[in-house]
Amino acid sequence: MPKGFYNVPVAKNEPILTYAPGTPEREELQNMLSTLRSQEVELPMIIGGKEVHTDRKIRMYPPHDIKHTLGYYNQGDAGHVEMAIDAALAAKADWAALQWQHRASVFLKAADLLSGTYRAKINAATMLGQSKNAYQAEIDAACELADFFRFGVKAMSDIYKMQPGSSPGVWNYNEFRPLEGFVFALTPFNFTSIAGNLPVAPALMGNTVVWKPSKTAVYSAGVIMEVLREAGLPDGVINQVFVSGPVAAGAVLSHPQFAGIHFTGSTEVFQSIWKTIGDNIYKYRSYPRIVGETGGKDFIFADNTADTQALAIAMVRGAFEYQGQKCSAASRVYVPKSIWGDVRKKLGDELATVKMGPPEDFTNFINAVIDEAAFDKLVGFIEKAKQDKDADVIFGGEYDKSVGYFIEPTVILAKKPDYITMEEELFGPVLTVYAYEDDELDKTLEILDNTSIYALTGAVFSQNRYAIEKITKRLEHAAGNFYINDKPTGAVVNQQPFGGARGSGTNDKAGTVFNFLRWASIRTIKETFMPPKQYTYPNFQDD
């Protein structure tokens, strides 16, 4: 047991480097990009600390340069998932018994590696593998992941301090036990930080984990594993398998020792997982914890006092940074007709200056979308909008997949508020605007609130304090993260705890005590110093 009440180092958000011309970080990142481009890696699965190779090698390539090969990963099957589960269960007792400050130290060291010697590598891997520009990679892969680890350690120690009161003669205390069994981390392609946080949060609380990264983010997931191993993560605590989602889910969700899932991805996949867990509920030793952050149809609502330049910039950044492939990306905007002409002009002026191309050219704001399936789906919506009488494509609308999966930032003007691209999550650089009659603000808020199944992020733009208050209140359940005069993206760990409700997930707020509590099962212990020696109470005595 620890011999002291240790204070963890004060967590601070990792400062974001600029990568401006002439800075050392720019040069270091450019060198790392060249190095990674000049070699082909072979990524094994890591199971029980061992590197596992198979005879199925899957090519990894940049979405913006599909003929270039970054390397190969070793594709596994259900047998490898079983091996990973066994390795997690075998590592459990030692890891759970390790004093918490030693668990913390592993991840604090990993954070320092991410913000230090591995910064260029994790950023370059994210830029090449997931087609992110330097700034987007920096705020995600290096900074946010280091923040998750550092604030995770703080959350863990804050939880350990949550103790009950004790009356005279009694001492009560809580033990935050890891869950019995193993935890499954199933991660998306779009944020390296989320991919790293989902297995690490349960591990910090003493759990052992089977981690299946997205097939389109294996390249950076391999670097995360490298960092964790260099930081001293013991074998078997996090086991990384490269298998298809259904294969992993098939083995994991039917296992009696399955203790919980930490998921981020689409609503459809999350709902299918939840259903399978329900169907298998009699098989499990405990009720599995289900934590999932999923899709969004994130909005900006402006009234006629909005600052039109600030609104146009929020639309460009909020909708098109990382090609709109953020769960929080603005994808529907409601603007009153009286200011729409002005907003449209400013938006068009800004978009005319936007450059698209590979992230290795640092001047490109827009890079490629993640894969061919996403490209084809998005093109389908754009082509449909070009034909539909209920929509006009007013900016962008061109695309090309000959070199990489490039789609211009595209703005659709919807003539009715329930046009399909106002409702469905597209997950790409496509923004739909609906211009409403100024005297129909209340009706439009009602429509906004009932248009989609999601409630992840949203923003209001207004300079009228009464309107800001009214709209914020009216949209209380429409978003788990709500912004006033700001774009709805870019949540920072410990500043805007992130997560949405309704169809968007369980809203457990990644990186906070609320999330970390899900990875512990509390045992409350009561000790009585002078136990009663007779069963009667005073009222039973005669007068």
Query: Active-site positions?
Result: 293, 327
Q: How far apart are CA 459 and CA 25, in angstroms?
A: 33
With respect to ligand NAD, which residue has the nearer C-beta, 456 or 493?
A: 456
Q: Which residue of 123, 130, 187, 507 would you call a contact of ligand NAD, by CB under 6 A?
A: 187
Q: Which residue of 505, 506, 509, 521 would you call a contact of ligand NAD, by CB under 6 A?
A: 505
Q: At what angle do helices 119-130 and 192-204 cross, to 10 degrees?
A: 120
Whose structure tokens read 């429509």?
447
Cβ atoms within 10 A of the Cβ of 117, count?
11
Stretch that binds ligand NAD, among 29-37, 245-253, 350-358, 390-398 (CB under 6 A): 245-253
Radius of gyration of the chain (CA): 25
Question: What CA–CA distances, in Å, run from 270 to 23, 33, 275, 518?
Answer: 42, 34, 9, 17
By CB under 6 A, tell whether 17 contacts ligand NAD: no
413-433 burial code (b ≥16 CB/10 A, e <16): bbeebebbbbbbbbbbbbbbb
With respect to ligand NAD, which residue has the nearer C-beta, 126 or 187?
A: 187
By CB under 6 A, tell whether 503 contacts ligand NAD: no
Shortest reach from residue 453's CB to ligand NAD, in Å? 12
By CB under 6 A, tell whether 211 contacts ligand NAD: no
By CB under 6 A, tell whether 272 contacts ligand NAD: yes
* Residues 353, 395 contacting (CB under 8 angstroms): no
Helix, coil or strand: residue 257: coil
Stretch that binds ligand NAD, among 91-99, 187-195, 221-229, 348-356 (CB under 6 A): 187-195
- Residues 288-347 binding ligand NAD (CB under 6 A) are 293-296, 327
**Residues with Cβ < 8 Å from 9, sequence gap 6 or more?**
108, 150, 153
- Residues 147-186 binding ligand NAD (CB under 6 A) are 186
What's the CA angle centered on 372, arms 265 and 56, to 5 degrees?
A: 80
Shortest reach from residue 427's CB to ligand NAD, in Å? 5
* Residues 114, 138 contacting (CB under 8 angstroms): no
Query: Binding string, 482-501, against ligand NAD, x = CB under 6 A?
Result: ----------------x-x-
By CB under 6 A, tell whether 280 contacts ligand NAD: no
Q: Which residue of 106, 124, 249, 407 would you call a contact of ligand NAD, by CB under 6 A?
A: 249
With respect to ligand NAD, which residue has the nearer C-beta, 206 or 428?
A: 428
By CB under 6 A, tell whether 197 contacts ligand NAD: no
* Residues 220, 187 contacting (CB under 8 angstroms): no
Shortest reach from residue 339's CB to ligand NAD, in Å? 29
With respect to ligand NAD, which residue has the nearer C-beta, 46 or 327?
A: 327
Structure tokens that stand for 294 in this block: 């999923």
In this structure, the strands spanning 182-186 and 258-264 are: parallel
Shortest reach from residue 325's CB to ligand NAD, in Å? 7
By CB under 6 A, tell whether 189 contacts ligand NAD: yes
- Point out the residue whose Cβ comes nearest to ligand NAD: 245
Helix, coil or strand: residue 436: strand
DSSP at 408: -
Cβ atoms within 10 A of the Cβ of 101, count?
15
Stretch that binds ligand NAD, among 136-144, 190-198, 229-237, 338-346 (CB under 6 A): 190-198
Name the residues that contact ligand NAD, by CB under 6 A.
Answer: 186-191, 194, 212, 214-215, 245-246, 249, 264-266, 269, 272, 293-296, 327, 425, 427, 456, 498, 500, 504-505
